[in-house]
Every structure is written in structure tokens, then in C-alpha cells.
Structure 1
Amino acid sequence: MDPVVIIGGGVIGASLAFHLRSHPRPVVLYERDALGSGTSGDSVALFVWHQSTPDRSSHALRARSWEQYAPLIDDETLSFEQIGTLDVASDEAEADELRAVTAELDELGVEASFLGPDAVADHGLDPAAVSGAMWTPEDGYLDPSEIIQHYVREATDAGVTVETQTAVTDVVTEGGRVTGVETENGTRSAAAVVNAAGPWAPDVNEMVGVSLPFRHNRGPVVVLQKDEPFDLPFVQFSDGLYFRGEGRNQALAGNFGASYAEATRLSPTDARSVDHQFYLDIEDRIRERIPRLDGVELVNEWVGVRTLTPDGAPVVGTTAVDGFFVAAGMNGLGITLAPAVGSYLAEVIAGDAVDADLETFLSPARFS
């Protein structure tokens, strides 16, 4: 029996493999490198209820993910550090906008509040340098490798085949439908193919002539360390800079990168280094607004590639090519959305009824 083939062994592909483990057809996952070696491994691994522009469907995806994460955290299969998110207002105009967002999140059932400068000081910021912040205390971070290992272990125990170090070089079609894939090790017939290739998703789409408006941006991250222990929530600023506590005495600092309008198409395999200006921006932001990070030293760095969509929502579902599905364009929310995306797409592939609002929100057809 021809299998369902998943291209990509990051958190999205692993989640889908797990959720398809009981599918009547065999399931095969191909990963060009090691599991989680792409965007998932470069992620700062946040699960966030926070939204800058609250949307009911996006909240529903988060809730669906958390329903799956919560029991795994409770039984210690997955680790989760609940540190909260501070969305910082640099001036009164931003403060007014964040107060409005706080009210919208509250209507969705998210625990959110607006903190004045004095309250923000309790989280390590200089109260004289900010106008407050929106606080979503239930946000936190997970470990991507734990998530992928759990999904893959459960999937392979149920009979799913996982082949690493095996790049898919082409998707074979005939008469407008998928018939197989070509890999570095030969051709394999397939009943369906899922593009869960992260930053390589545009390349895989081109193999079958599917056009979707994916773009890339660069996400630089540096690891900062102090001798003494400290804590820091996820702190983000309107210009894209962010900081996130890590363990007892470290923090990650990064930048969300170019907006979709300014983004372009990048090669995921190109060597990437952190721009010197980014170091200066981080140093200035700490000096001006985050006294808790005074005296940190840089101990590591990397640059990831994120895949963006015009509306900021993932692209998940069927395409014009029969048997070819897409699960990509996570806009930096892969860890947050992986369980929901995997379970939803498994329903689509199985032909089950799906939530109509989510189908509209996620469908590739919205860009037709």
C-alpha cells in the first residue's frame, strides 16, 4: 500500500507523523538532515497565549495545542518554564494600544493585564524608561528536542517510518495528482505528500507547481550569561527586539526580523552570521531599559530562518494538486502551534470533518 509521505522532520512534521500514526496507510517521514535541525532547533521555543493582534481562530489553535501539551507537561514528558510575556510600551501611544489589546485578549479568555512602570520594574525593567507593558503570565517555553523526540518515539512505536539524512529531491505527479517522491536513495511511490519542510517549503511547492506567497526573514539570537542567578520573562519591544530568560543565569536575546512586506526569499542552507549592528542594539537596549541584564556576557549565537505569510497565519491543508498537502508558514509560532497543526491536518488527510472556521483560517486556497 502506498504511504503518506511527510517531508520535514521539524516539530510540525514530527507532530503530523504522531497524529497520523493510526492512519490505515503507512506513513513515512523524510528529513534531509537530523530531526529538528532546521528552524525548530533555532527556535526560542515559546508557547504564547499572547497575540499582538488578537484573533479568535489563532486563539483556538493555541487552545487546541495546549490541550495536548498540558498533560505531557503534567506527567513530566515535556518540560515547561512558565515565565510570562511582557509586551513593552515605549511611549503613551503604545501604552494605549496595548491597553486595547489587553481588553481583546481578556474577551478571548486569556489572562492578561496592563502593568504600569512601577510594576514592570519588578520584572527587571527600568520604570523610568518605559510606559508600562501588557502582561500575559501563562506564557512560557518548552524544549523543541523533547517535543520532537516524544512525537517521533510514539510514531515509530506505532509503525511510522522515519528516515533522516535523506533529502527529497522531487515530488512526482501524474495527471494532476501526486504519485511519489524522489529521494537521494531512489524513487518511492506515494498516495499523498505533505510539505512540512519549514524554510524549504517554497522549494518543495515548486516541485509540483504550487504557488504560495511564502517569504523568509532572518532571526538572529544570542545567548547572554551572568555569574549570579536572575530571572527574566519574555520581554518584547515594538521594534522587534526581544529577551527571554533561560535557566538560572542566562537569557536569549533576538530580533523578530523583517516584516512580510520587507522580507524576501532566502536559501536556508546559506551560511548566516549575526550582524554587528545587532550586538549594538542589544547592548543599547540593556543599558537603557533592562538593568537586570547589566554585566551579561555573550556566550553563544546563531541565526535562524523563519517562513512568513502575508496575513501572519500558517498555511495548512489541501492544494490544487491532488494528494499534495501543505503545513508551513508558521511565522515563528511553530512550537506554539505544532500540536494543533498536526492534529488538524491529520483530520484533513483522513477525510474527517474539520472545524469550518479553522479551515477558512488555515486553507492554502485563501491566497488563490
Structure 2
Amino acid sequence: MDPVVIVGGGVVGASLAYHLRDDPRPVVLYERDALGSGTSGDSVAMFVWHQSAPDRSSHRLRSRSWDRYEPLIRDGTLSFERIGTLDVAETREKAESLREVAGTLREFGAEATFLEPDELAEHGLDPDFGCGAMATPADGYLDPSEIIRYFVGEADVAVETQTAVTDVRTRDGGVTGVETEDGVRSADAVVNAAGPWAPTVNDGVDVSLPLRHNLGPVVVLRTDDPFSLPFIQFGDGLYFRGEGRTQAFAGKYGADYEDAAPLDPTNARSVDHEFYLDIDARIREAVPRLSGAELGNEWVGVRTLTPDGVPIVGETDVSGYFVAAGMNGLGITLAPAVGEFLATAIRGGDVDAELRSYLSPTRFS
């Protein structure tokens, strides 16, 4: 029996492998490097109930993911640090908008409040900066390597690392297999969960989807004294996230879809000097807890974006060719729900009609 082939060994590919564990067909997962070495490993690994533009379908997906994560966190299989998110309002207009957003999120069932400026100091922000912030206190961070190790370990799946899929073979409008550096393997279905390499895999089957990339620089900040810090987001895309007792990540979300473009994920990239200046200025004006922090490690991640900010998940016009890409920086948050949804679709089971339409690769046609 020909296998289901998964291209990509990040959190999405690992989740799909796990949710296909009862499929009668064998499952083979190909990863061009090591498991979790791409976008999953470069992320700051947040699970967020926060949404800047509330969407009920997105909240439903987050709820499904949390239903999978929460028991694993409770029994100690996965680690989770609940630190909360603060979305900072730098103008009165933004503050009013975030008050409304918080109300909508509460209607969805998320925990969300608006904090006045004098309430921000206890969370590490200068109360004189901005006009308050929306707080989603149940947000927190996980460990991507733990997630991938659990999903792959519980799945009955053959894993081929250091093996790039170089082409997808088709005949009569359907997939027949994949080509790798080691040869050709036949396949009953192929799933593109290749993260930033997804557009390249799509090119092999002439599937055109509106995926673009942006760059997410991250630096590690270290202090001598212990401190705590939530996930703090600013309107210009800068963010900070506490990490343990004496570290924090500082990053930037990068270009929006309209200003983004396809990139070669294999190109080496370094953090530019201007980013360091932006981080230093923001610490001095808004995040006093990081005053005097020293720079540690740095990296630049590559995120995959879609025009509407919603992942592309489902079968394409090529029979047997599925896509799970364009996570828009929410791979950790959405991976369990995406894997469950797509596994059901691949098995030909009944999937939620609303989510099928919401995630469909053909919605851009």
C-alpha cells in the first residue's frame, strides 16, 4: 500500500503525522534538515488567544488546539509558561479599538481585559508610555522540540531527515509520488507542510497559491537579576517576551503581506544594526525591566504569510495533493487543530464545513 507522504518536519507536519496514526496507509515524513529545525525552531513558540482582528473561526481552531495541548501540559508531557500577552495602545484611538477587541474576544470565550496606563507598571511597562494595553492573560509559550518529539513519537510514521523532497510526481491530474535526493517513492497522497519551502514544493505540481515570506529577527537579552515579563506587542511590530528568570526575546514581526515577497529560505541572514537600535530605544522608553540587559544569541526566522492572514489547509485542484502552509506566525498555536482537521480530510472523513471553507486552498481562485 502506497504511503501518505508528509513534506516538512515542523510542528504542523508532526501534528499531522500524529493525527494520521490510525490511517490504514503507512505514513512517511520527509524533512530536509532536522526535525523542528526550520520556522518551528526559530519561533518564540507562543500559544495565543490574543487576536488583533477577532475572528470566530480562528478562535475555534485555537480552542481545538488547546484541547489537545492542555492535558499534555497538565500531565507534564509538555512544558508551558503562562505569561500573558499585552497589546500596547500608543494612541487614544488604538486604546478604544482594543477595548472593543477585548469585548469581542470575551464574547468568543477568551479571557481578555483592557488595562489602563497606571496598571501597566506591574507587568514591566512604563505607565507613561502609551494609553494602556489589552491583556490576554492565558497566553504563554511552549517548547517546539517537546511538541514535535511527542507527536512524532506517538505516531506510527517513518521519518527521513536530511532528505529534501525535490519534486512531486503527478499523472492524469493526481499525485503518484515524490522525488528525493535518494530516489523516487510512490505515494497515495502528498502533503505540503514545508513551511517557508511550501511555495517551492507547490511549483513541482504547478499549484499556485498566494504565499509570501517575511523576515522575523530575534535577539536574546540577558540580565543579572531575575525578572518576569509578558509577551508585549507594539503597533510597529516590535515585541518582547520573557524567557525563564533572567532572559527575554526581542523581535519584530516584519513586513505585512502587501509588502512581503517570496524569498529563498536557504539564504543566510543576520540581524541588521537598525533593529538593535530600535530595540534599545524601545527598552529605554517603554520596558524599564530590560534596562541594562546584555545581548546574547540572535537569529532571523522566515514566516509564511497569506493575503487574509488565515492558513491554507486542504486538498488542492491536484487530486491527492494537500497543503498545510501559511501559518502567519501561528504555527505553534494552530498546529494541533490543523493536523486534526487535515488528517480527517485526507481519510475522507466528515470535516467541519465552515472550517473547510475558511481554510480552503481554493478560496483564492
- State the distance in 2 between where 1:174 and 1:268 align: 29
Question: Which amino acid is the alignment partner of residue 16 of structure 2?
Answer: L
State the match for 2:130 in structure 1.
Answer: 130
State the match for 2:219 in structure 1.
Answer: 222
Counterpart check, 1:351 vs 2:353: no
Question: Which amino acid is the alignment partner of residue 47 of structure 1?
Answer: F
- State the distance in 1 between where 2:32 and 2:203 align: 17
Aligned pairs for 1:325-340 within 5 A: 325-340=322-337
Q: Deviations over 1:141-169 (max 9, x none)?
A: 000000000011111xx3x1111011111
State the match for 1:23 in structure 2.
Answer: 23
State the match for 2:247 in structure 1.
Answer: 250
Aligned pairs for 1:311-322 within 5 A: 311-322=308-319
Aligned pairs for 1:88-237 within 5 A: 88-155=88-155, 158=156, 160-237=157-234
Aligned pairs for 1:288-327 within 5 A: 288-327=285-324
1:41 CA drift (Å): 0.4
- State the distance in 2 between where 1:109 and 1:11 align: 26
State the match for 2:11 in structure 1.
Answer: 11
1:128 CA drift (Å): 1.0
Q: Deviations over 1:51-96 (max 9, x none)?
A: 0000000000000000000000000000000000000011211111
Question: Which amino acid is the alignment partner of residue 8 of structure 1?
Answer: G
**SS across alignment from 1:193:** strand
Question: Which amino acid is the alignment partner of residue 345 of structure 2?
Answer: V
- State the distance in 1 between where 2:16 and 2:9 align: 10
Q: Which runs of 5+ in 1 are unaligned?
A: none
1:180 CA drift (Å): 0.5
Question: Which amino acid is the alignment partner of residue 354 of structure 1?
Answer: V
**SS across alignment from 1:96:** helix
Q: Which runs of 5+ in 2 are unaligned?
A: none
- TM-score normalised to structure 2 length: 0.99
State the match for 2:236 in structure 1.
Answer: 239
Q: Deviations over 1:220-252 (max 9, x none)?
A: 000000000000000000110000000000000
**SS across alignment from 1:208:** coil
Question: Which amino acid is the alignment partner of residue 47 of structure 2?
Answer: F
Q: Provide runs of 4+ in structure 1 moved above 4 Å.
A: none
1:123 CA drift (Å): 0.5
Question: Which amino acid is the alignment partner of residue 118 of structure 1?
Answer: D
- State the distance in 1 between where 2:249 and 2:103 align: 29
**SS across alignment from 2:203:** helix
Question: Which amino acid is the alignment partner of residue 146 of structure 1?
Answer: E
1:30 CA drift (Å): 0.4
1:275 CA drift (Å): 1.1
- State the distance in 2 between where 1:65 and 1:40 align: 16
**SS across alignment from 2:204:** helix
Q: Deviations over 1:24-56 (max 9, x none)?
A: 111000001000000000000000000000000
- State the distance in 2 between where 1:210 and 1:330 align: 18
- TM-score normalised to structure 1 length: 0.99
Counterpart check, 1:37 vs 2:34: no
Counterpart check, 1:282 vs 2:279: yes
Question: Which amino acid is the alignment partner of residue 320 of structure 2?
Answer: G
Question: Which amino acid is the alignment partner of residue 104 of structure 1?
Answer: T
Question: Which amino acid is the alignment partner of residue 10 of structure 1?
Answer: G
- State the distance in 1 between where 2:229 and 2:328 align: 24
